[in-house]
Structure 1
């Protein structure tokens, strides 16, 4: 989904410092790194389209495409399967056991207010494993359909958790997902969360899906961390201009409307 900017930079930095200091304890979230050659990475600087709001025929020149897990991949292209891995979408909230939704001290579910999504409680090894079992079923379906990669969204949900989750929680959880996806032959994207790009060796992430890195001057950090294997979605003309001026010959860049709508919709934009 479009990136959420929150007033939590300080929280992110504090939790990042905590996770890098580490205690050396076994958290129960260990995941073996992928074997070389097990997955196929997306091409660099390729035509790209972001279709998570609905699938439609790929525009001319597109080589890389991202679609929701409910859709089928596009034949002949590099296909990325979108999975909302860290939050429950509004129409799926009741599908989750009540104790796997993150709750504050009063028992209220912690929400991502921008998208009306409940945060999943990845705060303990036991809960991470239970949530991963469900998410990995979706990953299996992506693999069965023929996708090349998976995009676990809301990696940065800990920054919206009111301090109840940490960066270490997020990394421990995504390690479970990346290990499983690699075993199914899928590459795994880091979605946004620029503050954690320097720790990708701990998570098994292969490339990046970055929203508005041009607008926020973050494309360079992703490009360096992922050796230019970055697909970029901008939502404004200015963001597109900045991304293209600095990285147009290196990264895969597209401009979409915030709702990532389909052709024929009033707000549809793709450049």
Structure 2
């Protein structure tokens, strides 16, 4: 009798799961219970400065994780948008509320932006809990994904002897932290390591690949069914949009302040 009841219970659970699942889940959202997986070609808005304008008619927004509250994320969700949480994971920013938690030993040279310095990504004993807390914030605010910035320190003058292996290890750590929290994660720039990191990241975010004639390096993401969110700053749309469309990139022209203004392909 107990065995019969157990079998009936399993059948009832299976029937409930089948009847409650959507008939045609959106392929761009992945399977039920999995994190979002943006498909190639999705239009997007990237706004990191100024008052947030939630009315741009695109399916994806990328906004600052610290500056924007959970209510802004919820509002975008009500408007049918997926929302990416911008974070700097490879550089320290003096204006962030957790800046004092970073010991001086992990702070390197300026990355070229005021108040920002490269991090010693070899020090995962220090950085992992700090980055986990930041990604917790993204999750708790309801974001769908994370855009971790400054993920190519090994290719820059950071003040630390970083290697490609150090960068791979750190980038995979960030990807794991995001996935453990049910969030998609994008690879920011770091084009040379795409072959090694393609399996770890759900999409890519790139700046100026057309200006530097590097966009073909991003094609593995598109071939894997993963979006490439791309911006240019210096070129007119006529100079990069035709090729972007051929490659399957989600491209637009933005100004360096990353405010509301955009000119999509």
TM-score normalized by the length of structure 2:
0.75
Give the 3-state SS of the residue equivalent to 2:83 in structure 1. strand
Report 1:121-160 matches (<5 A).
121-123=120-122, 127-160=123-156
Q: Aligned pair 1:235/2:233, yes or no?
A: yes
Deviation string, structure 1 residues 52-78 (Cα, Å, up to 9, x no partner): 224522344311110010214222212
Give distance in 2, aligned partners of 1:49 and 1:113.
24
Give distance in 2, aligned partners of 1:37 and 1:201.
22
Report the alpha carbon displacement of residue 251 of structure 1 after superposing the two structures with TM: 2.0
- Among residues 240, 243, 248, which one is paired with 1:246 in the alignment? 243
> Unpaired segments of 5 or more residues in structure 2?
1-30
Give the 3-state SS of the residue equivalent to 1:244 in structure 2. helix
Give distance in 2, aligned partners of 1:113 and 1:195.
21
Higher relative contact order (CA 8 A, sep 6+): 1
| Pair 120,221 (structure 1): closer, same or farther in 2 beyond 3 Å | same
* Contact 2:39 2:227 survives alignment (8 Å): yes
Report the alpha carbon displacement of residue 87 of structure 1 after superposing the two structures with TM: 0.5
Tell me how many residue pairs correspond in the alignment.
219
* Contact 2:95 2:115 survives alignment (8 Å): no
Deviation string, structure 1 residues 164-204 (Cα, Å, up to 9, x no partner): 111211111121111121111111100011111111157x1
* Contact 1:219 1:243 survives alignment (8 Å): no
* Contact 2:221 2:228 survives alignment (8 Å): no
Q: Aligned pair 1:270/2:262, yes or no?
A: yes
Give the 3-state SS of the residue equivalent to 1:91 in structure 2. coil
Report 1:53-202 matches (<5 A).
53-54=49-50, 56-70=52-66, 71=68, 72-73=72-73, 74-75=76-77, 76-92=80-96, 93-102=99-108, 110-123=109-122, 127-160=123-156, 161-162=158-159, 164-201=161-198
* Contact 2:120 2:160 survives alignment (8 Å): no
| Pair 201,43 (structure 1): closer, same or farther in 2 beyond 3 Å | closer
Give RMSD over aligned pairs.
Answer: 2.3
Counting helix residues as a fraction of each chain, which structure ranks higher?
2
